[in-house]
Structure 1
Amino acid sequence: MKKILFLVVLLSLILTACKTEKIDQGNRKSDLEFTVIDEDDAPQEIINMIENQKQEPFRFSYANGNDLYIVVGYGEQPTGGYSIQVKDLYVTENAIVIDTDLIGPSKEDLVTMALTYPRVIVKTEYIDKPVYYN
Structure 2
Amino acid sequence: MKKICLLVIVSIMAAMLSACGGETEKEENRNNLEFTVVSEDRLPDELKEILDQKKESAFKLTYADEGYLYICVGYGKQESGGYSVTVNELYETDNAIYVNTNLLGPKAGSSPGTSPSYPYIVLKIEFRDKTVVFD
TM-score after normalising by structure 2: 0.77
**Runs (5+) with no aligned partner, structure 2:** 1-24
Counterpart position of 1:117: 118
Larger RCO (CA under 8 A, 6+ residues apart): 1
Give the Cα separation in 2 of the matches to 1:81 and 1:53.
20
Counterpart position of 2:76: 75
Give the conservation status (yes or no) of the 8 Å contact 1:28–1:90: no
Q: Supply the AA of the counterpart residue of 2:74.
A: G
Indicate the SS of the match to 1:62.
strand
**Runs (5+) with no aligned partner, structure 1:** 1-23
Give the Cα separation in 2 of the matches to 1:78 and 1:66.
36
The structure whose residues are more often helix, as a share, is: 2
Larger radius of gyration: 2
- The Cα shift of 1:67 comes to 0.7
Give the Cα separation in 1 of the matches to 2:59 and 2:119.
11
Give the conservation status (yes or no) of the 8 Å contact 1:56–1:74: yes
Counterpart position of 1:15: none
- The Cα shift of 1:38 comes to 0.5
Give the Cα separation in 1 of the matches to 2:47 and 2:32.
24
Ranges of 4+ aligned residues in structure 1 off by more than 2 Å: 24-29
Give the Cα separation in 1 of the matches to 2:95 and 2:130.
6
Listed one character per residue, the Cα deviations across residues 41-94 of structure 1 (whole Å, up to 9, x for unaligned) are 011111111111111000100111211100110000010000000111110111
Counterpart position of 1:12: none
CA RMSD of aligned residues (A): 1.5
